[in-house]
Structure formats: structure tokens, C-alpha cells
Chain A
Amino acid sequence: MTSSVLPSNVAAREETTPARKQAPARSTTWRRRLPLLPALIFTIVVTQIPFVLTVVYSFQSWNLVRPGSRHFVWLQNYVDVFVDSQFRTALLNTVLLTVFSVLLSMLIGLALALLLDRKMIGRGVVRTLLITPFLILPAAGALLWKTTMFDPTYGLLNFVFGGNTDWLAEWPLTSVIAQIVWQWTPFMMLLILAGLQSQSKEVLEAAQVDGANRWRTFASITLPQLSRYLQLATLLGAIYIVNSFDSIFLMTQGGPGTASTNLPFYIYQRAFQGFDIGQSSAMGVIVVILTMIVATFALRLMFRTFSVTGGVK
């Protein structure tokens, strides 16, 4: 992700300091990097080595509960994964879950941030209350929603709307999205609020003087100004929500059937209920590759659109 950004920065820096000599520069940079080394080694040990091992496992047929089954099958696991219809369902669910959760929580977050940006009595209290969902442990939040909101007998939803709809059985994915949106809206709201409050008052006043109405001011000044914050919110939100596990594990267990199974939950099931190390490793590798592709394209696309239409640098 960062690789596309880095080279230009580095190049720029080298251009601006052409006078510096090469040899001492190299030794000083290494001296500067030395204190970073422990952190680097730590990162390699906890992220890169497990990943390489996962890749090795993904080439093997290995089921933990069948001793002596371990042997190399090379790409067979990958073929099996792509033929598996349940994997495709899980993939689709992950996409739906991420896209809708991010979009909805961002829209609601934007609306709330706009309201909070106005001066009013008790603004601090309202802000704190709105942030609370984000401070609750994800697991506790999921359980709260499962029992106090969605439960067919004791749930608030049925208490308010009547009937005895079993929300988690009839609308599994929608229910999970609702919980995730509830959890992540405050995060989006905070980021956008930071963007709103860094707007310069002069520009807004100038727009008013020029006779721009509220909507025009919002569309032409506030939104372009917010674009970078929105990018960041989308990116961070998407990275976290793609990995959603707690809410699905606790609320629906991926069910009914596989209606709300997303990739992290499916991999968990294959690894810790099926004990199929080979296939679950292959899925893990595929997910990493897909995420990298999507993230790279999404980032490029976002940078391009916003830098052209927004005009903010």
C-alpha cells in the first residue's frame, strides 16, 4: 500500500539535497536506523515468519485429527478453495458486510458530525454519549445487541414494533451490519468532526458574503475540505470491518446456514472445527492477496478522484 507512495517521497528528498556526500550519508542513515532494529526484528518475527509458515502449510494436505495425513499437494488446496461454493458465499458476504457497514456508518457519522459542529447547549455531553458505542468492548456490544435488541422474546426491537420476528434468523446479515454500524459510527463521526473543525471560518464567511446558500457551501467548500478525512475514514473502517469476527461469532455463528458467514469466520471454522490446516492456510493466503489487490486499487482510485474533483492538496 505504502510502496506506491514512498518512492516519490524519497526521490523528492534526494533531489532537494543533491549537495550531500554519499559515503557519510550512508553510515549516518544506518546509525539512525539502528535503534529501529529491535522493532523491525520484532515485526518480522510476529508477522512475516507466521505468514511464510502459512504459505508453506497451504501447499500441504494436513488434517490435525488424522495423524499421518500430512503431505505436500502443492496447489490442490487452492483449487479446492475456489471450487468450494461456501467460500464464494463467504467472500460475497464479506464484501457486502464491509461495503454497507462502511458506507452507512460514514453517512450517519457525517450527519452526526455536522450536527455536533454547531454550537449548542450540552454539546460535550451529547458528544460523549455519541462516542460511547465505540468505547464498549466489541464482544460486549455484540452480546448486548443479540440479547437486548434482537432477541425474539426479550428484545427491544420486538417490544417497540410488536410481533415476534426472529431478527437474527430472518435478517442475519442485516442485523450484523446494524450492530457494526452502531459500533463504528462514532469512529467515523470523530474523524469527520476533526475535519469540520479544521475548516477556516474566513472561507465560510466569504462564501456567505458571496451569497452561497447552505447546501452550496456544503457541496463546494465543506465536502472537498473533508475529502481527505473521508478517505482516511473509509480506509481505516474498511480495514477493521473486513476482519469482523466478534459480532458474527457471538450473534449468529455464521448462520442460519451460512447466511452470515464472512471470510474470517469461515477460516476459523475450517481451522478450529474442521482442523484442516492445509485448506484454511490456503484461504488465509488468498484473503491476504485479495485484500492487498483491493486496497491498492481502492487507494489509487480514491487519491485520483479526490485530487481531481476536490482540488485540495
Chain B
Amino acid sequence: MRKPLTLLLVAVLLGVAGCAGAGAVGAGGRTLVVAIVANPQMQDAIELSDEFERDTGITLRFVTLPENQARAKITASVATEGDEFDVVMISNFEAPQWAQNGWLENLEPYIEASDGYDEDDFIPSIRSSLSYRDSLYAVPFYGESSFLAYRKDLFEQAGLTMPANPTWQQIADFAAKLDDDEQDIAGICLRGKPGWGESLAPFTTVANTFGASWFDENWNARLNTPEFKKATQFYVDLVREHGEVGASSAGFSECGTRYGQGQAAMWYDATVMAGTNEDKSSSKIVGKSGYVAAPVEKTKSSGWLYTWSLAMPKVASDKQGAWEFMKWMTDKQFVKSVGEKFGWNRVPPGCRESTYDIPEYTRAAKAYAQPTLDAINEATQENAMAGKVPYPGIQFVGIPEFQDLGTRVSQQLSAAIAGQITVDEALAQSQEYADTVGQAYRETR
């Protein structure tokens, strides 16, 4: 009895192996490895990728990781020129730096050879943030700026009106009035979780609009200026007095949960939050939010600029195949496929102007489509910063050292939010960190 069973097992296994082999041969043996960040829009793309595999015969293997882990893995792989990934997902923080380092393939020749791939359709601010010497080195998948969401119903109850372009002082006053401990509703949700992509993103836009900057034009660290101190004190006080509980460990997703559960009256964060706020499966407050531009103090606007985009490492082996995939995922047709298959709220926003001409999309995203587009269009250094700075980026400092510097400074900020150290102590320590980095740039200039 036992022997035939074993034989049967062997036969089945061989059969399965044979089929797998045949499948690989049938597909022409072309396999692409794609490193991608595990955000909802990317998950949708992975689900749709069967279509791409069917049309081109190229097999796709996705390496999907949360943002911080993906960034570490992709950076290490690309920097050591390990031929691990054919396509990588990077942001506008990495793209210009890596292009300058010669790690990325210039995409212009590929774009020119592709008919109907409308490069001029990309929103200009996003496009220029991914370019190096006027050539695109990464194609945007989605783009975002930052704005403020507020609960229209709570504002009405309290008899308050939100101006179209609020100042931070007004927001602080609103937060004080709407902060309701008994109902467990915080006045405002702001990120406090350490990480240069977490708390420092909203915080740096606040610092910018208060007239502060990380470095001056000669790379002197400016974290000890009165402006920077005023901005930090404002942010820390606001979130400590009227912010959410557990603020020092709250990032984008934690704030999203609180706001979505109706536990905050306002939330200043990335424009993509609108998609989750208005999604019935994740939010209890669908349709109750209004969206206004990022609050300002001394500057014209204050929203940040960020985009997740696809790039091709210079060492990638199958470049034509890689481009086919990048084209598929950032094309106009892809936007339509997502809208038709998953619903128009889930379309990757903020990278193609034509998306905002699709009637179904403008209807589904009525509350936030225009504010998003306006915020992205306005997000330039000229609009969002009071002075000139020697680095690219609005909510980040576009130098390689910033990942480390930003993380360290954000830890100090979190400690101040948690009340473990004072703002002065946090800034004194941060200024030291920043000065070490600035010194290296002063010397090499």
C-alpha cells in the first residue's frame, strides 16, 4: 500500500514541476524584479499586473515592503550596484541625487521612442522634481502635496468658519476651541512619530512658512534661529495642548485612523489622505470633511511636494522590458483601468493633468480633487519658503546626509512632543547634528 502511494506522490510532483517549466518557457523566460512600496495604490497596481503579464509575456516578481524598509533595501541595492532589481520605486528625494551619482538610467530616449506616452501631461512641479539636467530619470506614479482636512459638521456646531487660506494662528485658535476631552475629540492631528519622512515632513513645512530653513545659502545650519525656535515651539505646543493622545508615536497611518474614527476635528497631512477619509471601508466620517490649502504664516503657500515614481537602475539587465513595465504603470490607460476596476476614489492622484479631466474622477473626488491639484501646482520652493536655500526639496533637505540627520532631529522633536526634553534642548542638540553636516558642505564648496 505504501509503495504505490509514494510513487503516486513522485509522479504528481514531477508533473507539477514539468508544468512550471513549460510555463516559464512559454513566457519567453523574461522575468522582471520590481521593488515597490506597499501603499494602497501600489497594491492595486500589483493586482492589475496580470494584464501586463498576459499582454507582454514578461513575468513580474514584486518585492513589496513598507516605506522605511523599502527605502533601506532599495538604497542599499542601487548604491552597491547590485543587479537585484530591474525597476525600483523611489521618490523625488532620491531621483535627482541618484541621477547625479550615475546610478539611474536616463529615461528620455525611452520616452521619445514610445508613441502616445504623453510626457507633457505630467504636472510640471512633479516632473521637474524628478529631473536632473532637464531629463526625466524617474516617471511619476502618484504625486502629493499637503493640505488640511477639517470636519465641516464640528465647525458648524461650534459656529466657526474655515477660511480658504487659513494661517497657522487661526488653526491653533480653532484647535483650542474644538478640543473636546469628554468626547475624545482632539483639536488637530499632527504627526510626531520620528523619521524624516514622518514627523519632519509636516513640521518642516511649518518651519518654512514661519520663515525658517535648515541651512542658509552658505550651508550654515540655521536650527538655532529665532524663526526656527518659534516654529518648533508652535508645533510642539499645538500638538501637546490640542493634539491627539500618543502624538509622539503617531505617523500618517495612526493619524489616519484617529481622524477616520472621528477622533479629531482637523488633520494636516498628505493630500492622499482624502482617498482614505472618503472610503467607506476605512472611515466613519465619509462626506463630512472639507479640504483647504496648507496653513501659512509668512509665505504664499506651504504645501510640500512628494511623489512616488518608477526608475531603472543603470545596472538593470533587461532595460527594454523594464521600460515596458514602467510605461504600463504610469500611462493614462492605467489610470482608467484602476478607476473602472476598483473605483475612482482609488486612482493614483496627482501626477497626470489628464486624470483631472476624467469626468468620473472629478465627480468621485469632488471634495478634494481641485485642492489637491492646486496644492501640487503651488508646491515650489519659491512659494513655500521665505528665503533662498542651497538644497532641493521643500519638506526635506535634498542631500544624502538628510536621511540620517532628519531621523536624528525628528527623534529630538518626538522627545520634545513627549515632554521628555524642552524645545530649547531639542534644538540645541539638533543644531549640533546639522552643523556637522553643513561643515562638510562648507569645506567642499
Contact = CB atoms under 8 A, between A and B. Distances in A.
Contact of B245 (A63, A152, A253): A152
A284 interface: no
A109 interface: no
B248 interface: yes
A306 interface: no
A172 B442 CA distance: 38
A269 interface: yes
Interface in A207-236: none
Interface residues of B, number: 37
B400 A65 contact: yes
A276 B102 CA distance: 20
Contacts, number: 99
Interface string B233-276: 00000000000011111000000001000010000000000000
Contacts of B400: 63, 65-66, 275
Nearest to B194: A255
A269 B421 CA distance: 22
A141 interface: no
B245 A164 contact: yes
A86 B79 CA distance: 27
Interface string B375-406: 00000000000000000000000001101100
Contact of B412 (A252, A257, A273): A257
A274 B408 CA distance: 10
Contacts of B403: 65, 273-275
Nearest to B407: A273
Given A65-B79, A152-B246, A257-B411, A273 B404 contact: yes
Contacts of A174: none
B418 interface: yes
Given A164-B245, A256-B248, A275-B404, 16 more contacts: A64-B75, A65-B401, A67-B79, A67-B101, A86-B408, A151-B246, A152-B245, A166-B249, A169-B247, A169-B248, A169-B417, A256-B414, A257-B421, A258-B411, A274-B407, A275-B76
Interface of B: 68, 72, 75-76, 79-80, 97, 101-103, 184, 193-195, 245-249, 258, 263, 400-401, 403-404, 407-408, 411-412, 414-415, 417-421, 426
15 contacts: A65-B400, A153-B258, A253-B249, A256-B248, A256-B420, A257-B415, A257-B421, A258-B411, A258-B415, A272-B76, A273-B72, A273-B403, A273-B404, A274-B404, A275-B403
Closest 5 CB pairs of A and B: A257-B415, A274-B404, A65-B400, A256-B418, A169-B418
